[in-house]
Structure 1
Amino acid sequence: MAKNNSNEVDIKLKGFYKRWKIDISEDEKWQEFKNRVLNAYEKHLGYEFLSKSEIEDEFYEIIGVHRTKTSGYMSFDNMFDKTIGDSSTYQFLKHQDNLKKILLGIEAISWMKKVPIAKKKKFISDIEDSIQISSVPLQIKINEDEIIFYPLGAKLLDKKLVDDNLDWLQEYPKSYELFKKSLHEIDVIGKERNVVDNLRLSLELLLKEKFNNQKSLENQKNSLGNYLKENNVSNEVSNLFITVTDYYNKFQNNNAKHSDNVNRNEIEFILYLTGIIMRFLNYHK
């Protein structure tokens, strides 16, 4: 679905709900999103998965789930008796109640090598439209060879501090992978320490590459100070930046690196703070 068309559909649906005073619950929004995912799968991928067993093998290998193959899988004699619903991948998405598993399934499809690129792109484009039309609190980042989901926070901050960082951080693969991993786990209960620690490591690895040294994050203060001075950053902003990074290190050491005491309500703040630090450093390449 074209972007302009998805905007029109979104506006018309919201107008209909408002006109009839229909209050759509969060559960209903997610169900609507799931239905749109199934429609996009059926439209763009259904036949590929149904007709080629090796494609479904790849999908289940990626998500780490065992599937039982059916005999005579899509032979010429029975191909016309099969429907998209017979695909085990379709069944996985349809009967999955765990939202994160559905999102994993969609991301897994974007990683697959056996699915034609053109079909994957059309599927992913429809998923992007589905997020907007269904009004679910979900953000999607589309890169050349994958998609990344993360919970929607403040749209402006997500764009500037998450999306943009994911673009240029690919120049620093180790830092990029950890930043991306933190996004995958940011809303997972029990992973709070992992998220915060991965953000710290992502920033630490970025500084190591940028300054060409092997210092820990705590020991980069002089390098940061010299870097800011060389790039003509004002004294006030330089002092503020160093002070913020000092407190960032103290938080990490006291709550994640040497302990497991992360407050779930503070994680989004740490994500955006990490993004601010990284984004500012990227201004002065």
Structure 2
Amino acid sequence: MDIKTKVINHNKRWNISVDADKQFIQLRNRVVGVIHQFLAQLIINDIKLDRQFKKELDYSLGEEIELERNNDISSILSLNTVQKNFQSSLIGTQNKRVFTDTHIYKEIKESKNIKQLATALQVVFWILEDKDKDLPLNKIVKELRDAAKLSPDTGFHITLIKKRVVFSPPGSKLLDEGIVNDVLEWLEKYPKVAKYFAEALKIYTDGDISKYRNLLDNLRFSIEQLLKEILGNSKSLENQKDDLLCWLDKRKKHQGIIKLYQQLLYHYCTYQNDAVKHNEAFSEDEIEFMIYLTGTFMRFLMQIV
């Protein structure tokens, strides 16, 4: 049992309740701990990354950007800095940069509300997305999710789509925890399926309407590939009816659920063939519906596999 579950169970047993303001402080402290655990060394060593964070955060918030100094003055200051650093190194008293010195630590620690905290975190992961770094994003996101779950009245949703980490308010339609987050986590066992589903979500979060056709294709490929792997065949989505019926029967699912699943899947294929292949226009509502439907299809299968 992980620490998050232990804390939740303990609080239930003792009827411990925490108001929203206190929950936010607890969340902020836990977030600092997660960032320190996984990213502190990178942030300390990469001063440019930390400066880029400050610059992009200020831009996001509309804050005044620090302008570059006059070249002559900068040269003088640079020479003075070099001299001071050299002198400090000679006597062994040069201070080492630590995590609490960084802009990232200060902005997260000094955030006053959940919007400020989420914005600071989002900027951190925007920058990391552009860096060619081998980071344990799955672990980082899991730890941040656990931290948010311990502060349910003031938390956020987090979705990992390939290397992209997206923060959103609780209740956001696309980032529903059960349909999107859980499915993405479970699909780690099926990397080919995850590739298609994640690409569809990426197109949606990019807001590129011109690629909605590709988005729907990727949704279809994801459920089709999952059925191939679960059922152990190479059939197309339209030709999985008999094998799927047998597979669901063996797992003793109610006949009403089996028929409903098959009917929905049939109409899913029909829509893909009629609308998608003929390049019809797609509304955002239709796209969201297809994302949720595909996620529901796959969630059901992975729960009983």
Which of 100, 124, 127 is the equivalent residue of 1:105?
127
- Name 2:180's counterpart in structure 1: 162
- Name 1:243's counterpart in structure 2: 263
Please say if residues 41 and 123 of structure 1, whose CA atoms lie closer than 8 Å, have aligned partners that are also in contact.
no
- Name 2:11's counterpart in structure 1: none
The 1:276/1:153 distance shift into structure 2, 3 A limit, reads: same
Q: Is 2:254 the partner of 1:234? A: yes
The 1:253/1:226 distance shift into structure 2, 3 A limit, reads: same
The 1:164/1:14 distance shift into structure 2, 3 A limit, reads: closer
* Structure 1: tracts of 5 or more residues without a match: 16-36, 60-70, 86-96
- Name 2:13's counterpart in structure 1: none
Q: Is 2:127 the partner of 1:149? A: no
- Name 2:283's counterpart in structure 1: 263
Please say if residues 162 and 275 of structure 1, whose CA atoms lie closer than 8 Å, have aligned partners that are also in contact.
yes
The aligned runs of 1:62-141 (5 Å cut-off) are: 77=86, 84=102, 103-107=125-129, 112-113=133-134, 139-141=157-159
What amino acid is aligned across from residue 181 of structure 2 in structure 1?
Answer: D
Please say if residues 175 and 206 of structure 1, whose CA atoms lie closer than 8 Å, have aligned partners that are also in contact.
yes
The 1:261/1:245 distance shift into structure 2, 3 A limit, reads: same
What amino acid is aligned across from residue 149 of structure 1 in structure 2?
Answer: V
Q: Matched residues in 2 for 1:52 and 1:235: separation?
A: 58
Q: State the shift of 1:205 in Å.
A: 0.6
The superposition leaves residues 155-189 of structure 1 with CA deviations (integer Å, 9 ceiling, x where unpaired) of 8x923222222232211110012222222232322
Q: Matched residues in 1 for 2:95 and 2:20: separation?
A: 39
Which of 270, 279, 284 is the equivalent residue of 2:299?
279
Q: State the shift of 1:280 in Å.
A: 1.7
What amino acid is aligned across from residue 193 of structure 1 in structure 2?
Answer: R
Which of 45, 50, 57 is the equivalent residue of 1:51?
45
Q: Is 2:221 the partner of 1:221? A: no
Please give the TM-score of this superposition, normalised by the length of structure 2.
0.55
Q: Matched residues in 1 for 2:152 and 2:256: separation?
A: 44
The superposition leaves residues 102-142 of structure 1 with CA deviations (integer Å, 9 ceiling, x where unpaired) of 65335557x823x7x7xx97798569868979968x62147
Q: State the shift of 1:203 in Å.
A: 0.5
Structure (1 or 2) with the larger CA radius of gyration: 2
Aligned Cα RMSD in Å? Answer: 5.3
Q: Is 2:182 the partner of 1:173? A: no
The superposition leaves residues 199-236 of structure 1 with CA deviations (integer Å, 9 ceiling, x where unpaired) of 11111111111122222212222222222233232322
Q: State the shift of 1:48 in Å.
A: 3.7
Q: Count how many residue pairs are aligned between Structure 1 and Structure 2.
A: 237
- Name 2:273's counterpart in structure 1: 253
The superposition leaves residues 32-73 of structure 1 with CA deviations (integer Å, 9 ceiling, x where unpaired) of xxxxx99x97998576445358x96xx9xxxxxxxxxxx99x
What amino acid is aligned across from residue 255 of structure 1 in structure 2?
Answer: A
Please give the TM-score of this superposition, normalised by the length of structure 1.
0.58
- Name 2:21's counterpart in structure 1: 12
The 1:228/1:10 distance shift into structure 2, 3 A limit, reads: same
The 1:52/1:182 distance shift into structure 2, 3 A limit, reads: same
